[in-house]
Amino acid sequence: MANHKSALKRIRNSETKRLRNRHQHKTTRNAMKKLLETTAKKDAGEMFPGVMSMIDKLAKRNIIHNNKAANLKSNMAKHVTSL
């Protein structure tokens, strides 16, 4: 267990950040899943910018790697254009 005040604070902060990152990642995954399940081009077109933004934010905050974000965005774009 931690012996210093600063280490205890770091543990608290890390846990808070971990939960926030987990929530954001899960929310984004759900949005991507919803977009991929969409068959209507109009609905997909409306959802697309929001999902792209969510993926970009995850990459910016280092929750996911930049290359993974690029691959996800590419797959989403392919899906939307194929409708």
Query: 3-state class of 62 per DSSP?
Result: coil
Q: Which domain holds residue 67?
A: 42-83
Closest residue by Cα to residue 73 from 54, 46, 37: 54
Counting the structural domains of the chain, the total is 1
CA dist., res. 17 & res. 78, Å (int): 33
Decide if 4 is inside a domain.
no
Decide if 59 is inside a domain.
yes
Per-residue pLDDT of the chain (83 residues; tens, 9 = 90+): 678 999 999 999 999 999 999 999 999 999 999 999 998 999 999 999 999 999 999 999 999 999 999 999 999 999 999 98
Decide if 36 is inside a domain.
no
pTM reported for the whole predicted model: 0.83
Q: How many residues does the chain have?
A: 83
Decide if 23 is inside a domain.
no
- pLDDT, position 83: 86
Decide if 32 is inside a domain.
no
Decide if 22 is inside a domain.
no
